[in-house]
Structure 1
């Protein structure tokens, strides 16, 4: 029986060209790669056993790398089979993995956005008072029910008013709430912002008094 060092230093057969079926018996690739079904490895300990394809049953071999006088067999196991069923299963699993990674990345991005919005809300001076102002806590009266309905429609249709690639600019998309004292203008503005914040939208809302105070601090510095 040859020693591993002798096998690694002996001439190898020419590498195959074109697409290789991982389930087909092979010889060593050119360079430092060697396949587990290389006939020169027969009987040597440590050579991983082939794994049958779960779809077509063909044997899948392991591809090792030569490091000095040793062979390192990568931990991912036998190479993939190239039968149509195995390829389709791999592509499906890959797509599902990429979708899960994209969803996780989106969730992390939305989490960071919510944290950023929370900090902005805190800096506005509204804090808990702001967060408690929602549509469900708004007290309806005969004088403010029209304003409340308009504010809710605005919040629920907000996405349609945003600029979209390939679509005509929506134009004026703000909402001006006016009315006598008791209309609930500040509450409704906060309710709109809280509705959008819950959906991860980048929204900043503050009362006119807070806004004027911030402008005053900015330009007096």
Structure 2
């Protein structure tokens, strides 16, 4: 056997007449293998990105309670919360130029953890590493 074409011819001679081969030539077989390889490669890349994102997320310190927090689902009930939301969004938008960390302070129940998690979730989606302490 010298090449794939020879193999295909040999297999066709051995197959019963009622069985039709999926590929008529070695080139068709190689093209199919190349296509399938590209499809599998893309799937593996997606899986690797998802696993990396999950590992990064797991190390972030975001508690399960806050994993779905975002700026969009933050409920604003007073002017102070509107200001905090605005500052949190601004921090994310200017993140690459920021040097310092972001610290929240205030009374219990005002949404500090929600906004901190929203910042982290947004930065994680942008491929950044984060840590909530």
**TM-score between the two structures when normalised by the length of structure 1:** 0.36
Larger radius of gyration: 1
Hey, what does 1:196 align to over in structure 2? 123
Calculate the aligned-residue CA RMSD, in Å.
Answer: 3.0
Q: Any stretches of 5+ residues in structure 1 without a counterpart?
A: 1-100, 162-171, 207-221
Deviation at 1:112, TM superposition (A): 4.1
Structure-1 residue corresponding to 2:72: 136
Which residue of the partner structure matches residue 109 of structure 2? 182
User: 1:70-90: per-residue Cα shift (whole Å, max 9, x none)?
Assistant: xxxxxxxxxxxxxxxxxxxxx
Q: Which runs of 4+ in 1 moved over 3 A?
A: 106-112
Higher helix proportion (structure 1 or 2): 2
Match for residue 56 of structure 2?
A: 117
Cα distance change of structure 1 residues 156 and 179 upon mapping to structure 2, 3 Å threshold: same
Q: Choose which of 151, 158, 173 in structure 1 pairs with 2:95.
A: 158
Q: Distance in 2 between matches of 1:107 and 1:144?
A: 37
Q: Distance in 2 between matches of 1:176 and 1:118?
A: 20
For this pair of structures, how many residues does the alignment match?
Answer: 95
The runs of 5 or more residues in structure 2 that have no matched partner are 1-40
Q: CA deviation at 1:137?
A: 0.9
Which gives a bigger RCO, structure 1 or 2 (Cα 8 Å, sep 6+)? 2
Q: Structure 2 CA distance, aligned partners of 1:115 and 1:184? A: 25
